[in-house]
Amino acid sequence: MRFARSLALAVVLLLWVAPAFGAEELDMSCPVCDHVDVAGRGLEPNATLTLTITDVGTGQTVLGETKVTTDSSGAFEREFDMDLAKHPTLLANLYESNGSTLVLAAHANAEAPAHCRRDRSLPYTGSHTGLSAWMAGGLLAVGGAMLVVTRRRSGSTAA
């Protein structure tokens, strides 16, 4: 009997606590190099929210406070034009501000596809093998010449 009461209490607590975990979802994708797709699901239906997008590398705000409105199912999808060669790593923030109180906050990261042309090329980190190869070849030639000379000397003294 005591176990049944404890179990019933546990079930009631779980049912009460479960809605506290938000089902809000914010996705951001960069399928091509000239725009970002942002989608939200599980949000409050017919709500007006504020979306901002920031460049993670520079901290620059790429998309200032932009209002997005969810549909009757609590979802939205938007496409924003931006140069992903200049802003390859992005952070999106979605929030609802009620007066001075932050009611909802969701965050998503996205990276530009690898084929997007970057403003700065990566620094060359390989070695410059031309001079080293010539020096190695020269040392091998000197070593070979010394070997030939010493063999000739040892051959002439034995005869």
56 lies in a domain? yes
84 lies in a domain? yes
| Mean local confidence (pLDDT), 141-148 | 92
CB atoms within 10 A of CB 121: 7
- Summarize pLDDT for 24-59 with one digit per residue, the tens: 788 888 877 788 888 888 888 888 888 888 888 888
Domain extent for 77: 23-111
pLDDT (0 to 100) of residue 19: 45
138 lies in a domain? no
CA nearest to 56, candidates 97, 96, 24, 84: 84
120 lies in a domain? no
- Summarize pLDDT for 7-31 with one digit per residue, the tens: 665 555 555 554 444 457 888 888 7
Number of domains in the chain: 1
Q: Tokens 């406070």 — which residue? A: 65
Q: Flag whether pLDDT at 117 surpasses 70.
A: no
| pTM exceeding the 0.85 threshold for the entire prediction | no
CATH number at residue 51: 2.60.40.230
